[in-house]
């Protein structure tokens, strides 16, 4: 890759540093982060970084494969194997998600199973509804302002089944404690969702691994959670620490 001595190198490091702190970024996000460069030049620079093995592009998102500084980086080429294996084992649709904005998340990968609920296409940004099983994992770590906002929004979603605020907070705290979220038909009566955090701890999980199925799948809760734990362990082998440099 031919770089101009200072300007291009500086932009290259800006891109790598930007992707280091994210779990996938759209081209327009990178455009906003890297100033003074045309869209065409930025596209060529990203292509060069991809050919050198620093960046991977998949489903409209750019990921860091190897880079600089500290942190955790996703190697996305392995995620399809994980969701496919989980979907086949449980006969449920499976997906991987990551927090994107203050109250939004993005689909990283998915494998759908007929008649078991549908997960939208990878790269899609979606809101974190408070009763949504895939979103509960991330909302469990949200600050008080976001939690209050999400609780207020329940009125238009669950209607007369809206829990009081204290009950709502206890449920989120329990999700944070266990690292597992279950949506037992709270929002849509024809589906149930099960989700487990990936790289959680005291901070918002970097990812979530979840499955969706018919209502009767709630009877298999232990089997499903055990399978999610195995899937999480396999997923975490794709998340490798950067070498300092």
Residue 202: band (very low, low, confident or very high) from pLDDT cuts 50, 70, 90: low
pLDDT of 76 above 60 = no
Task: Name 94's bridge partners.
Answer: 111, 211
Non-local (6+) Cβ contacts of 167 within 8 A are: none
Which of the following CATH numbers is that of domain 7-68: 3.90.226.10, 1.10.240.10, 3.30.365.10, 1.10.10.10? 1.10.10.10
pLDDT of 198 above 60 = yes
Q: Which of 32-41, 124-133, 220-229, 236-245 has the highest mean pLDDT?
A: 220-229
Nearest in space to 186 (alpha carbons), one of 149, 233, 132:
132
User: Average pLDDT of the chain?
Assistant: 80
Sorted by where each begins, the domain ranges of the chain are 7-68, 76-239
DSSP string spanning 152-195?
HHTHHHHGGGPPPHHHHHHHHHHHHHHSEEEEESSS-TT-EEEE
Mean pLDDT on 194-205: 81
pLDDT of 219 above 70 = yes
Q: What is the pLDDT of residues 81-112, one digit of tens each?
A: 999 999 999 999 999 998 877 788 888 889 99
Q: What is the pLDDT of residues 148-194, one digit of tens each?
A: 888 887 766 765 567 788 988 998 999 999 999 988 756 566 788 99
- d(CA 64, CA 60) in angstroms, rounded, equals 14
Name the one residue in this structure whose structure tokens are 């194997």.
Answer: 81
Tokens at residue 59, please? 């489903």
pLDDT of 67 above 50 = no
Topology agreement, domain 7-68 and domain 76-239: no
CATH of domain 76-239: 3.30.450.40
């Amino acid at each position: 890759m031919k770089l101009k001595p200072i300007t291009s190198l500086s932009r290259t490091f800006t891109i790598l540093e930007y992707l280091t702190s994210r779990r996938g970024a759209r081209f327009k996000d990178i455009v906003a982060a890297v100033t003074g460069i045309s869209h065409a030049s930025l596209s060529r620079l990203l292509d060069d970084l991809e050919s050198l093995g620093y960046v991977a592009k998949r489903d409209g998102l750019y990921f860091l494969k190897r880079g600089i500084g500290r942190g955790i980086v996703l190697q996305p080429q392995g995620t399809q194997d994980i969701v496919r294996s989980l979907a086949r084992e449980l006969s449920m649709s499976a997906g991987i998600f990551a927090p994107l904005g203050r109250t939004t998340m993005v689909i990283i990968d998915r494998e759908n199973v007929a008649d078991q609920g549908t997960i939208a296409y990878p790269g899609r940004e979606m809101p974190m509804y408070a009763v949504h099983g895939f979103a509960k994992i991330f909302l469990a770590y949200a600050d008080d302002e976001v939690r209050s906002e999400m609780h207020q929004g329940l009125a238009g979603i669950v209607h007369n089944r809206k829990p009081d605020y204290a009950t709502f907070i206890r449920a989120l705290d329990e999700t944070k404690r266990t690292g597992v979220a279950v949506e037992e038909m709270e929002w849509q009566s024809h589906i149930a969702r099960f989700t487990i955090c990936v790289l959680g701890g005291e901070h918002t999980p970097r990812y979530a691994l979840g499955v969706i199925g018919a209502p009767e799948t709630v009877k298999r809760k232990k089997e499903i959670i055990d399978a999610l734990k195995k899937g999480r362990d396999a997923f975490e082998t794709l998340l490798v620490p950067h070498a300092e440099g």
